Amino acid sequence: MGFREALHSGKFLITAEIGPGKGTETDELLEDAELIKGKVDAINVTDLQSSVMRLGSMAVCHLLKDHGIDPILQMTCRDRNRLALQSDLLSAWVLGIRNVLSLTGDHPTLGDHPQSMPVFDLDSVSLLKVIKRLNEGVDMAGNQLKGAPDFLPGAVVNPGADTEAALEMQIIKMEKKIEAGAEFFQTQGIFDLDLFERFMKRVEGFKTEILGGIILLKSAGMARFMNKNVAGVFVPEPLIKEMEVTKDKVKTSVEIAARLIKGMKDMCQGVHIMAIGWEKRIPLVLEDAEL
Amino acid sequence: MIVAEIKPLAEIKEMVKKYRKVLIVGCGACVTVCLSGGKKQVELLASALRTVKKMEGEDAVIGERTIPRQCELKFIEQMKDEASQYEAILSMGCGAGVQSIAEDLENIPVLPAMNTLFIGASDGRGTWIELCAACGDCILWRTGGICPVARCAKRLIYGPCGGSQGGRCEVSKDNPCVWQQIYTRLMKLNQLHLLMGSSQPKAWPVHPRKLVREDLKLKKEPTGV
């Protein structure tokens, strides 16, 4: 069953995420993917995450497809203008990629080539509109396509936006994304279930499927780093303490993730697991979460 | 105003090294207001260059002149005679000033003493911020008078990215998230509904841009009978 079928089947959805590395080495990546294959409904492949130059998302999605995994192509607006974005969408389709996640993208100054020109010709909302149009057989300029794709478009939302204004604008933008065709949402990593529950109540009635984000904590230091530097991620102090005092970081990390998944299971339609290098532990998390 | 800052002295020194007679030209408009290229700064640069040239044992002539606006032909024309006595002009105007002078004084090299930065304003405390990107398609009416094209690092016109923290921009914590500011302003104006409007992706202008005003074009002389 592909991701689209899973999305409409009513089952609790599970997606994971892998980040290609810097260079042409793909063995480890594919090994990780093989380990979680069959346990997840789809795997996202990030698009130069954190604005660091790496192997591209489209090529790795294609490799996943060859390995029998349904990939979700993450596409940011940071590096390509509307010509390149549309062309890459068509290319992705002919390579067998069926799901696209639309993102604005981090600014280049946050990555390893800070002098590069930030493009942002489109943003996450307008890219969704473009995907919708291409699906209808027309490009952004109104020209007819000879052969059209039929992508499943998705988007992201940050339920942990830390000011009232930022959260309100996230919700307004989420509505615009739904209107622009987003059929599913993957959220930023959630560590506070009360906050997530309030967010889910707030967007109750939005016609879309929401996959709550799960980030595997590797250490207390990582949690503190994210609290300081990653927008929308807030790891409460008790969880940091748990990671600090544990003798077995992997075990505790898996336990925390599984606990969060169990907690959000009745709130949303699925989970999106961002293991950030710990992909091999995803099966343990799923087992612990009884999924 | 157009905000500019003076180049490092070493770079200016390199530009003028082969000229013995240099006229430093200030501009009485934007760069005077932003305290970077007016009469006072012309005096300071002239005195610095004289010292440099002297230390290198050169007998240089460094002239000083400030005109009301370097981007206006009639003011450039007024200094033409004086300029012709020099080997090079060192302009302390913005890029438009440098090019306007170069266009008019074809036979004298015109050198830029400034780096032109942006269209902006001062906060009155020694900081100037960019306010307008001159994008050619103003949307300030629906963003509470605050421009996201110029003031959002990603030029987002549909709303914020997910990167702000505590109301600060993900690119630099020194900068407020402009969408946060737009939200607050629209709330004060009781115009939050404007955030719901959808806009089309921007049509980016093709450079170089030109403005033609038919109403101001010189009327052609009627042809003879």
Residues A103, A234: Cα–Cα separation, whole Å: 21
- Residues B39, B66 contacting (CB under 8 angstroms): yes
Tokens of A13: 């959805």
As a whole number of angstroms, the distance between CA A104 and CA A275 comes to 22
Which residues 50-109 of chain A have a CB within 8 Å of chain B? 82, 104-107, 109
Q: Please tell me the predicted confidence (pLDDT) of residue B216.
A: 86
Q: Which of A14-28, A184-198, A225-239 has the lowest mean pLDDT?
A: A225-239
Q: Which of A15, A68, A67 is nearest to A46 (CA)?
A: A15
Superfamily of domain B2-117 in the CATH hierarchy: Response regulator (3.40.50.2300)
User: A54-79 pLDDT, tens per residue?
Assistant: 999 999 999 999 999 999 999 999 99
Chain B neighbours among A 222-251 (CB < 8 Å)? 231-232
Q: Which domains does chain A have, with CATH numbers?
A: 3-288 (3.20.20.220)
Please judge whether B156 and A123 are an interchain contact, meaning their C-beta atoms are less than 8 angstroms apart.
Answer: yes
Which of B46, B27, B32 is CA-nearest to residue B86?
B46
Buried b / exposed e over B83-122, threshold 16 CB at 10 Å, is: beebebbbbbbbebbbbbbbeebeebbbbbbbebebbbee
Answer whether A110 touches B (CB < 8 Å): yes
Q: How far is A266 from chain B (nearest CA, A)?
A: 25
Question: Residue A276: its pLDDT value, please?
Answer: 92
Query: Which of A74, A126, A157, A199 best tests the B interface by mutation, with the highest count of B CBs <10 A?
Result: A126
Which one of A173, A225, A227, A230 would you mutate to disrupt binding with B, by most B Cβ within 10 Å of its Cβ? A173
Sign of the torsion formed by the C-alpha atoms of A139, A143, A148 and A150: positive
**pLDDT in the model for residue B223:** 62
Cα(A153)–Cα(A131) distance, integer angstroms: 7
What is the Cα Rg of chain B in Å? 22
Residue to test with chain B: of A110, A121, A123, most B Cβ within 10 A: A123
pLDDT, mean of residues A125-146 = 97
Report the chain A residue with the minimal C-alpha distance to residue B164.
A231
Sheet of B2-6: strand order equals B2-6, B114-122, B128-132
Q: What is the pTM of this model?
A: 0.92
Q: Nearest CA to CA, how far is B204 from chain A (Å)? A: 9
Q: How many CA atoms lie within 13 A of A96 on its CB side?
A: 14
Nearest chain B residue to A111 by CA distance is B171
Q: Which residues does B contribute to its contact with A (CB < 8 Å)?
A: 153-167, 170-172, 177, 179-180, 183-184, 187, 195-196, 198, 201-202, 204
Contacts of A228 (CB under 8 A, 6+ apart): none
Percent of chain A residues past pLDDT 90, beyond the cut: 95
Convert the pLDDT of each residue in A90-106 to its tens digit.
999 999 999 999 999 99
How many angstroms separate the most distant Cα atoms in chain B? 75
Q: Do A172 and B196 touch (CB under 8 A)?
A: yes
In chain A, what residues touch B153 (CB-CB under 8 Å)? 107, 109, 118
- Phi and psi torsions of B7, nearest 5°: -70, 160
Flag if B164 and A121 touch (Cβ within 8 Å).
Answer: no
**Among the partner residues B155, B158, B180, nearest to A173 by beta-carbon distance:** B158
CA angle A211, A257, A282 (to 5 degrees): 80
What's the rounded Cα separation, in Å, for the pair A132 and A122? 14
Helices of type H across chain A: 3-9, 27-36, 57-66, 82-94, 124-135, 164-179, 193-202, 220-229, 237-245, 249-264, 282-288
Closest Cβ opposite residue A120 in set B154, B172, B179: B154
The count of C-alpha atoms lying within 13 angstroms of the C-alpha of B19, restricted to the half-sphere facing its C-beta, is 24
Tell me the C-alpha distance between A193 and A267, whole Å: 9
**pLDDT tens by residue, chain B, 225 residues:** 999 999 999 999 999 999 999 999 999 999 999 999 999 999 999 999 999 999 999 999 999 999 999 999 999 999 999 999 999 999 999 999 999 999 999 899 999 999 999 999 998 889 999 999 999 999 999 999 999 999 999 999 888 998 888 899 999 999 999 999 999 999 999 999 999 887 678 888 899 999 999 888 876 666 655
Tell how strand B128-132 and strand B114-122 pair up: antiparallel
The amino acid occupying position B164 is S
Q: Minimal Cα distance from B194: which residue of A? A: A172
Q: What is the model's pLDDT at position B44?
A: 98
Helices (H), A136-248: 164-179, 193-202, 220-229, 237-245
- pLDDT at residue A285 tops 60: yes
Nearest to A166 among B164, B187, B201 (CB): B164
Per-residue pLDDT band for A232 (boundaries 50, 70, 90) equals confident
The full set of domain ranges for chain B reads 2-117, 137-196
